[in-house]
Amino acid sequence: MIPRCFVRPEEWAKTEIRLPPADSHHFIHVLRLSAGSRIVVCDGQGGESLCEVRGGGGSELVVRVIERRVRSSSSSVSFSLIQAIPKGARMEWILEKAAELGVWSVFPIMTERGVVRLEGTRAAGRRERWQRVVTEAAKQCRTAWIPRVEAIEELKDLLGRSLPFEALLVGSLEPAAAPLKQAIQEMKGKGVRSVALIIGPEGDLTAEELDASMKAGARAVSFGERVLRVETAAIYGLSVLAHEFGVG
């Protein structure tokens, strides 16, 4: 199996590509690649290049592009996750699985009942770490796209501005919430091309947060009679979306 890595789009467009130090180290010292070896270099936006190792200097490997192509997405709808940050390492697990399922972007949010509060340099550092998590997951599942991890913010701030989605769903325990698959069928009937799913924290969103979500255009959806853990709800919701719309 040909190894893969990602570079910035402007680097990917060159005929000779200098790989990042971490990937170069892995290819040289772990995979033992040498001149003439083949790798696939992606730009994270659908572009793939079959490349041949030319050499390198110091800790950086240089490859020559042999064949370049841009993959078209097989998914009819792009879907994003708006995720309340859970305690511990569960956020990284959610991000990894979300990338594998084909999510296009993740919006980490803080909510009233959420116990994780991140601001300033801590928030920026955590976002950088989470972006590395989704990048590694994209490598493992051999996709040409890297999901974008957006800046951490309060749910109320996110809902207070115009969102780039045609449809917005919010996981809810309310009795009046529509079954998820019913909501998806209705979206299909309307030809929706982009959808975001809000998953609240342990203890769920407050009534005020749910109301704000609805006022922002969200549709409350149910995942069934069982009360799911945060990470289970996120992956269940994304899995159903991926199944119904296809993973690109």
CA gap 36, 106 in Å, rounded:
38
Is it the case that residue 190 has pLDDT exceeding 70? yes
The pLDDT score that the predictor gives to residue 73 is 62
pLDDT band, residue 247 (cuts 50/70/90): low
Q: What is the pLDDT of residues 147-157, one digit of tens each?
A: 999 999 999 99
Average pLDDT over residues 5-10: 86
CATH (one of 3.40.50.720, 3.40.1280.10, 3.30.930.10, 1.10.3470.10) for 78-245: 3.40.1280.10
Amino acid at 167: A
pLDDT of 221 strictly over 60: yes
The pLDDT of residue 1 is 82
Cα dihedral 32→40→149→86 (10° resolution): -50
Q: Does 205 score more than 80 pLDDT? A: yes
Three-state SS string across the chain, please?
A: CCCEEECCHHHHCCCEEECCHHHHHHHHHHCCCCCCCEEEEECCECEEEEEEEEEEECCEEEEEEEEEEECCCCCCCEEEEEEECCCCCHHHHHHHHHHHCCCCEEEEEECCCCCCCCCHHHHHHHHHHHHHHHHHHHHHCCCCECCEECCCEEHHHHHCCCCCCCEEEEECCCCCCEEHHHHHHHHHHHCCCEEEEEECCCCCCCHHHHHHHHHCCEEEEECCCCCCCHHHHHHHHHHHHHHHHCCC
The reported pLDDT for the residue numbered 34 is 86
**Burial grade of 176 (CB within 10 A; 0-12, 13-18, 19 or more):** exposed
pLDDT at residue 97, rounded to an integer: 95
CA distances for 134 relative to 26, 43, 94, 126, 137, angstroms: 18, 14, 10, 13, 5
For the 4-70 domain, the top CATH level (class) is mainly beta
Residues with Cβ within 8 Å of 57's Cβ and at least 6 positions away in sequence, in order, are none
Report how far residue 32's alpha carbon sits from residue 92's, in angstroms, rounded to the nearest whole number: 29
Supply the pTM of this predicted model: 0.85
For residues 114 and 42, what is the distance between their CA atoms, to the nearest angstrom? 36
pLDDT surpassing 90 at residue 44 = no
Domain ranges within the chain, ordered by starting residue: 4-70, 78-245
